[in-house]
Amino acid sequence: MYRSGDVSVVEKLEARLRSKEGREFLVASLYLSHFIIPDLDRLLRNGTLSGEEYNLLKALKFVDRSTKKDFARAVYAQIVEGSDEQNV
């Protein structure tokens, strides 16, 4: 868990599937350390953001509802695409 001041953020997003039998499978994960926001990276490089500001903004975007939805959609698309390739 990343901690900056009073903000705690989960370091990993996970996508899990549950089988008809109730077994749960981890199908994808995304770590905060691998989460890239090009605009924030640019602001950090040119000195507009401090390292602490960069880490806080990156962590907040990581746990934002829209990021979680985008992650879920991307995982779903990969699963559907993969199953389409197997059915060819």
The total number of structural domains that make up the chain:
1
Average pLDDT rounded to a whole number, residues 15-27: 94
Residue 44 structural domain: 2-86
Q: Which of 86, 80, 36, 85 is nearest to 57 (CA)?
A: 36
Contacts of 67 (CB under 8 A, 6+ apart): 13, 61
Global pTM value: 0.73
Instruction: Give residue 82's pLDDT band: very low, low, confident or very high (50, 70, 90).
Output: confident
Cβ atoms within 10 A of the Cβ of 75, count?
19
Q: For 26-37, what is each residue's pLDDT tens digit? A: 999 999 999 999
